[in-house]
Structure 1
Amino acid sequence: MAEPDMLDIGDLWTPKFVVDPDDPVLTAGSCFARHIGPALLEYGMNWREVELPPPGLTGDERRARQYGQFSFRTGNIYTAAMLRQWLAWALDDVAAPDEVWNEDGAFFDPYRPSVEPAGHASAEAVLAARRVTLAAIRVAVAEAGCLIFTLGLTEAWRDRPTGTVFPVCPGTVRGTFDADRHEFRNFTVADVHADLSAAVALARAVNPRLTVLLTVSPVPLTATATGEHALVATTYSKSVLRAAAGQLAREHDHVDYFPSYEIITGFPFRGVFFEPNLRSVTPSGVDFVMRHFFAGLEGRSAGARPVGPTGTSDGGDLLCDDAVLDYYNAG
């Protein structure tokens, strides 16, 4: 195991289906997933960004408002339950809650509280913006060839009255925590598998030719609401996500799993692709993952040795909402 140079290790992924370069590809998921779309675009594939920024925004403004991060402006979708939720709202005529959070005269969407950091001017503007995103999801899923979804967490906070799932605990990024209303959930393999299965079924009901490529984020937890050590909670979370994704991929020809988690965290790679904070993945690590991805698509068996980073470090945690839990006693 120690003999090959780690950068020469290859054959880590043999795709189950072809991703045509001209077919629209959608990306969604946790903060690590934001690297995938731009990398696909750089490689010449048809990554579809369906909510374009208004003209005149600077690069920093586009990033702060989360344009160009994922195919849809949903913000980070950390859990399978959240993916199922967004697709149900967009594709299955399930009404999204009309709750809006008001802080100092600015209005925020509880289900993507970081997408507009300065908030909206009114509650109706929040709901109108959400309708735009849901309409974009409907159009994009109907036309796409492949959806790449990166699973990030098993931990989530749920609203008891509506049954909906929040991206982060209310009262951290935005909102107010209510112990009588907001409950903690740590999903099991069965939970994640059920939510993934339902999400894939929703998407393929409107687009039967759609394929789904699942990945697991290598970014560890910095905090947990379980009361356990973050290291133990991370191992549980990633194990559950990997098992559920693998199970679904074994069950369906139209679902595959790509080992981004293993490529970054595997013992042959000695953790070299993490930033000094041991959480964020370096640009060269992202490049290494994507080179394995493209090598697999092209049917190449050689190792995916990187020749240099495809981007620059962006602070890593700045777009990872869950990182703020390190500063709150949310559990």
Structure 2
Amino acid sequence: MPEKHPYKGLPDRSFWKRAVATRHYEDMTELWTPPAMEGSEKFATAGSCFAQHLGRHIARRGQGNYLDFETAPLSLPAAEHGRFGYGIYSCRYGNIYTTRQLLQIAQEALNLRSVSEHVLEKDNRFYDAVRPSVDPVGLESREDVIELRKVHLSKVREMLESLDVMIFTLGLTESWMSTVDGTVFPNAPGVVAGSMSSNPAKFHNLSVSESLSDMKEFWNLLREINPTARMILTVSPVPLIATASGNHVLQATIYSKSVLRVVAQEMADSNEDIYYFPSYEIINSAQGGGYYFDPDKRGVNDRGVQYVMSHFFTGDMGKVFPEPGEKPQQTDVVCDEEAIQARVDQDSK
């Protein structure tokens, strides 16, 4: 009788020849194991730019399953919603690129950290330094910015207490930290508004241990106020638009994504209520041949987004969120990082 070995009886997905080599890239299956769902779960999203695709598809399919705690005022035209930070994520926090940003906003919302009073100024208008993109025209005073942030944080707390499943897309490790109190900004002061002299900050590239510690602390805070919460982690497949690390932007991108991929796996492996969805691998694997990127080799095209969604909405996820009919056209994402390129282009004129 043949002796058993550890690979005997494993499913096809465990073997390259069966799962990849003999299949067309778009015929691969079982790229993840979706969590079990009853159908009534409430989902919230946060993260880097790519997270917006997941939120929009869940909202379109979910018929009430998607949480949105900061809806646009009726006076704001629908075409302007995204520009002012509405309808992008479950709260109006803009892009949360790093694990430190995620932890920071949770701590502020739960009164475990002083509310950020970092304000950027440009042309006598004022912007929240930790979410500068949500008010593209700025506010009239510093006091207005801080008061609006307090209202926003109350909504974030409500979201954390109410959600059943949080989807967080990890995007970057590169961050800019205030030299005054360590507050992390999504962009360096001076990119959107303000300046390094009025809002001093230092560059910091988060390590594996730092990012993992941030995620563990965030998870503990979430479970303290919401003991049955679950979380789905993804890593954005979108490369960095720029790096302040001193390395080539390609090398810097691989570093960031590698760190975050490890962190996501560590969290999923050590917590039965945390799951990893491989949007990064689906888009970036060499076997895909770069087919899902725009000509700039950075933006993910509509075919790529649709292919990611075809894997995400499988198992119970597909049952809870059935495809309602005609697939929507890809909607532009709102990305704080693009302000860096816009500022660089402006400076070169």
Shorter-chain TM-score above 0.5? yes
| Paired letter, 1:125 | D
Contact 1:144 1:210 in 2 (8 A): yes
Contact 2:70 2:90 in 1 (8 A): yes
Helix, strand or coil at the partner of 2:337: helix
**Within 1, Cα distance between the matches of 2:114 and 2:248?**
38
Contact 1:287 1:310 in 2 (8 A): no
Helix, strand or coil at the partner of 1:192: helix
- Give the match for residue 33 of structure 1: 51
| Paired letter, 1:35 | H
Helix, strand or coil at the partner of 2:132: coil
| Paired letter, 2:295 | P
Query: Paired residue for 1:73, among 81, 89, 92?
Result: 92
Helix, strand or coil at the partner of 2:81: helix
**Within 2, Cα distance between the matches of 1:19 and 1:121?**
46
What does 1:28-177 align with in structure 2 at a 5 Å threshold? 28-44=46-62, 46-177=65-196
**Within 1, Cα distance between the matches of 2:331 and 2:86?**
18
Query: Paired residue for 1:325, among 340, 344, 347?
Result: 340
Contact 1:2 1:268 in 2 (8 A): no
Contact 1:49 1:72 in 2 (8 A): yes
**Within 2, Cα distance between the matches of 1:225 and 1:84?**
23
**Within 2, Cα distance between the matches of 1:105 and 1:178?**
17
Contact 2:103 2:214 in 1 (8 A): yes
Query: Once the 2 structures are TM-superposed, how far is the Cα of residue 230 of structure 1 from its aligned partner?
Result: 0.6
Contact 1:282 1:313 in 2 (8 A): no
Contact 2:118 2:130 in 1 (8 A): no
Query: Once the 2 structures are TM-superposed, how far is the Cα of residue 96 of structure 1 from its aligned partner?
Result: 1.6
Query: Paired residue for 2:222, among 203, 207, 212?
Result: 203
CA shift digits 1:95-119 (9 cap, x unpaired): 1232322221211101011110001
- Give the match for residue 282 of structure 2: 263
**Within 1, Cα distance between the matches of 2:118 and 2:331?**
36
Contact 1:92 1:202 in 2 (8 A): no
**Within 2, Cα distance between the matches of 1:234 and 1:203?**
29
What does 1:15-30 align with in structure 2 at a 5 Å threshold? 15=34, 17-30=35-48
Query: Once the 2 structures are TM-superposed, how far is the Cα of residue 297 of structure 1 from its aligned partner?
Result: 3.2
Contact 1:97 1:162 in 2 (8 A): no
Structure 1 residues not aligned, in runs of 5+:
301-306
CA shift digits 1:27-51 (9 cap, x unpaired): 0000111111110122226010110
- Give the match for residue 243 of structure 2: 224
Alpha carbons of structure 1 residues 230 and 52: separation in structure 2 relative to 1, 3 Å = same
- Structure-2-length-normalised TM-score: 0.87
| Paired letter, 2:236 | S
Contact 2:125 2:138 in 1 (8 A): yes
Q: How many residues align?
A: 320
Alpha carbons of structure 1 residues 40 and 140: separation in structure 2 relative to 1, 3 Å = same
- Over the aligned positions, Cα root-mean-square deviation in angstroms equals 2.1
Helix, strand or coil at the partner of 1:321: coil
Contact 1:14 1:299 in 2 (8 A): no
**Within 2, Cα distance between the matches of 1:93 and 1:187?**
22
Q: Which moved more, 1:3-12 or 1:209-218?
A: 3-12
- Give the match for residue 245 of structure 1: 264
Helix, strand or coil at the partner of 1:168: coil
Identity %: 40
Query: Once the 2 structures are TM-superposed, how far is the Cα of residue 313 of structure 1 from its aligned partner?
Result: 4.5
Helix, strand or coil at the partner of 2:154: helix
**Within 1, Cα distance between the matches of 2:256 and 2:198?**
23
Structure 2 residues not aligned, in runs of 5+:
1-19, 320-324
Query: Which contiguous aligned blocks of 4+ residues in structure 1 show a shift greater than 6 angstroms?
Result: none
**Within 2, Cα distance between the matches of 1:44 and 1:179?**
44
Query: Once the 2 structures are TM-superposed, how far is the Cα of residue 140 of structure 1 from its aligned partner?
Result: 1.4
